[in-house]
Structure 1
């Protein structure tokens, strides 16, 4: 009985702010970008600078829940530590009518999910390797700062002029403990394999009589197969980004 009551409460409390409303006497809401487990995200016009910003709001129904409040504050704290042109930039936080918000830069472009499934963008083997290799350098930047994204899915990668941008740090963690960090590295590395497979399948004919393993469906250079198997932890997993980078270089050279 408790769950339906909670859902009803959330339905009543968590209505997104309507387009055209202004918050903090500065941010004019243009559209709802999305809603997650603890946050609501808006695309806004900054009336002071006339450019677009992203404003994230803690769901009103979660304001008194310790776990969700901590997640919101943790995400805000991590974004404040980022200083990379291919990641969100933090601007400010504020409270209005008891609601918590923070503001970050808007990264224009399609996420990979939209690019692949709505706009039918395709990547040949070399193009897929080059794109994910660039993504590798972004994650290396994070790992050097003890930050682990832990949610490197195609909706969280923006593509702009064939360059990757990383967004959505809602599940990211900052970890100093070496042993704990090892497991988180493996998760980010595994996500590289998933993303690379998605890109490689964009040139695969959709209609086939039998569903086969990717090793049989995709015609790839052996260097790419070796790379994917290690990223996906089918064979001995990678433990360092440096080793992944070396094998990306080998796979790209094999495709020249």
Structure 2
């Protein structure tokens, strides 16, 4: 009985400790309010997003006639940990090495008191998550393949520069007014390597997350496969009372497209490099003409 009570109390104490930690993080990581000044130069307009390690703000650059930019702050709860500052340094180094119209330019970095900030180019547009779920836009197969092809051009540039993004998801892909795409949030990007990224213990991740976090090109291919499935499911309408099935059963896809996705997801022989992905994608696009309007 005493052991049972002791174990129960330990469980309660552990849960209380986790709850207190979360309360502390919530207090520390409260976003800056609109109008707040950062670095004596940037005025916060609104919060763009809050991730695991950072808070991104749309800001006006008061030294450049109020031009919009993105200022990303390392979460105060993370800045003293073994991951917060290394991730900040890695993202800054990655963006500084890249120069592509589909990738935000690094405009600067600074420290204010104990806080760390990156300043980046603002890529105006709608992220694909909002396009799909808020705007309820759908993509037929020909259009989805062409959109993936445009994204693959950006990924090809990143890979040729020696990096992998490791976080290609619909909220991190911007659809711009002119139809071009931008790939944002390089917080998890890193150089291609055969070794685990410092400070990461990928063996603890679930299988899907482990594949996405490997510092190899295949992690981005896997993410491209899921990206394409998100686009294709936008048109999918399940029948009433029909049980949920796998994507290969639910989506009516040509065999070549199905095989392409399986290779991206590493269910069949995986692609060797992004060039192979692009060549196969071009072949599929040629075989899948756009429907006349």
Note the C-alpha offset of 1:207. Answer: 4.3
Work out the CA distance in 1 between the residues paired with 2:164 and 2:105: 17
Work out the CA distance in 2 between the residues paired with 1:40 and 1:183: 24
Note the C-alpha offset of 1:210. Answer: 3.2
Say whether the 8 Å CA contact 2:194–2:216 is kept in structure 1: no
| Residue in structure 1 matched with residue 208 of structure 2 by the alignment | none
Note the C-alpha offset of 1:131. Answer: 0.6
Q: 1:205 aligns with which of 237, 241, 245?
A: 237
SS at match of 1:249: helix
What residue ranges of structure 1 are gaps of 5+ in the alignment?
none
Q: 1:134 aligns with which of 150, 164, 171?
A: 150
For residues 57-91 of structure 1, the C-alpha deviation after alignment (integer angstroms, 9 at most, x for no partner) is 11122232232111111111111111111111111
For residues 166-209 of structure 1, the C-alpha deviation after alignment (integer angstroms, 9 at most, x for no partner) is 00111111135599998621111111111111111112224442
Q: 2:63 aligns with which of 30, 45, 48?
A: 48
| Residue in structure 1 matched with residue 22 of structure 2 by the alignment | 7
Runs of 4+ in structure 1 over 4 Å off: 176-183
Correspondence 1:27 to 2:42? yes
- The 3 A distance-change label for structure 1 pair 149 and 201 is same
SS at match of 2:83: helix
Say whether the 8 Å CA contact 1:229–1:235 is kept in structure 2: yes
Q: How many residues align?
A: 256
| Residue in structure 1 matched with residue 3 of structure 2 by the alignment | none
| Residue in structure 1 matched with residue 256 of structure 2 by the alignment | 223
Correspondence 1:187 to 2:258? no
For residues 189-242 of structure 1, the C-alpha deviation after alignment (integer angstroms, 9 at most, x for no partner) is 111111111111112224442323222322222221221121122211111222
Say whether the 8 Å CA contact 1:43–1:54 is kept in structure 2: yes
- The 3 A distance-change label for structure 1 pair 77 and 128 is same
| Residue in structure 1 matched with residue 203 of structure 2 by the alignment | none
- TM-score by length of structure 2 reads 0.81
Note the C-alpha offset of 1:6. Answer: 2.4
Q: 1:170 aligns with which of 167, 173, 187?
A: 187
- The 3 A distance-change label for structure 1 pair 10 and 211 is closer
Note the C-alpha offset of 1:255. Answer: 1.0
- The 3 A distance-change label for structure 1 pair 183 and 177 is closer
- TM-score by length of structure 1 reads 0.93
- The 3 A distance-change label for structure 1 pair 57 and 217 is same
SS at match of 2:216: helix
Work out the CA distance in 1 between the residues paired with 2:123 and 2:129: 15
Structure number, greater radius of gyration? 2
Q: 1:88 aligns with which of 77, 95, 104?
A: 104
